[in-house]
Amino acid sequence: MILTFAEDFSSLVDLDSDLVGTPDSGLYWNRGVLPLVTVKNLLDFLPMLDFTFSAWDSSANYTIFEESKKKSDIVTYDGKVYQSLSVNTNKQPDLTSDWLETNEESLRIKSFIWSVKENLLSALSLSRKLIENQYIYNVGETAYTANEDYIGWVFEPKGSDYVKIRINQIALQANTDLPVTMSVINQGIVVDTIVLNPNNGLLEFEDVDYTISGKGRFYFVIPTHEVLSENAYNDPLKYDGFVCYPVVGSGDTPEGSVYNETTYGNGINFNVSVYLDSSQYADNNLVDLAKMYQSQFEMDFIQMMQLNSNSRVHGDARAIDKNLLTYHASDLTGNTVARRYAQQLKIAKNSINKTFDRFIKSSKKIQIRRSSI
């Protein structure tokens, strides 16, 4: 874990091994922060939920709970609670490392930490952002048939593994009204197929809603058809966040063909959106952002106590000075949680600006435009 809880003797609860031990960052959630940040106070103010988990089923398929965040990936076995650490079937929880023994208190705290991470991404402007929406099309009027076996387009991120490319629509100006199967190829493997429905050469966009997921080039290819096209030049580097260009391929199969880049349209047209999806960037660098992560946790913790948004009623809550909480949550002049948070936020943003994807200017004004390829 990037950060863990140090034993503070405020609670009799034994947290699971995900939440304790030596942290990778050397920082603890409850050390170097306001003294009110204790395990007991956290549990006292988090919502009380009625947890009911299914018994482990040897025939069920389980996935990674930290990724799915589904109750179905939490089971009970022999009177204990376990969370799934892998994609597994018929792995008995008490006999394999595919499961982690946990408890309800640990799960409540993990849920809070997930929300802290989401708030961190938002505070650092690392949430998903639209950086490009582009129609890439050419209204063709001249019939054309390639000499090669396949025609298509290639899409790939420009300078970043944190870009998501979504193909919203495709229009195939083929002189046929029969369905055409488009193969999506990545690293020599057909990873998906898309069925297109041309209308005898008309430029008609149909929804496909296909998101490119993975590394490397993605080829969108069809068997060679007579299409309507024009000699309109495509500049593959003019798009923000991605590169795309037409290709022709020769071979017996889409994935086994040899493809060559061209510069002119081939009757296949796209509506594309590109997003800066930096959740992976945050995961890669959470150790370096650990102090900001801790500060976000402290701020969220204090605000939860201040607002008591979960309507927890107990003696300890009534004893806490609400004015003190308000002071720490909002004052920027004293040595408050708010001031330390603002300082860490500034440091983290400066660090990100120096390291995160210099090829993508996500703060630019979004331009939605048409392109004649």
Q: Domain for residue 147, yes or no? A: yes
- What average pLDDT is seen over the chain? 88
Of the three residues 277, 310, 330, the one that is the final residue of a domain is: 277
Percent share of the chain, pLDDT over 90? 67
Q: Domain for residue 361, yes or no? A: no
> What pLDDT band is residue 141 in, cutting at 50, 70 and 90?
confident
- Is residue 348 located within the same domain as residue 295? yes
**Does residue 371 register a pLDDT over 50?**
no
- Is residue 164 located within the same domain as residue 296? no
- Is residue 19 located within the same domain as residue 95? yes
- Is residue 194 located within the same domain as residue 272? yes
Q: Domain for residue 364, yes or no? A: no
Of the three residues 242, 277, 312, the one that is the final residue of a domain is: 277
- Is residue 267 located within the same domain as residue 158? yes
- Is residue 46 located within the same domain as residue 170? no
- Is residue 115 located within the same domain as residue 145? no
pLDDT at 358: 52
What domain range includes position 56?
3-125+281-355
> What pLDDT band is residue 363 in, cutting at 50, 70 and 90?
very low
Q: Domain for residue 368, yes or no? A: no
Q: What is the DSSP track for 133-201?
A: EEEEE----EEE--SSSEEEEEEEESS-SSEEEEEEEEEE-BS--S-EEEEEEETTEEEEEEEE---TT
Q: Domain for residue 350, yes or no? A: yes
What's the pTM value of the predicted model, to 2 decimals? 0.70
Q: What is the CATH number of the domain that holds 227?
A: 2.60.120
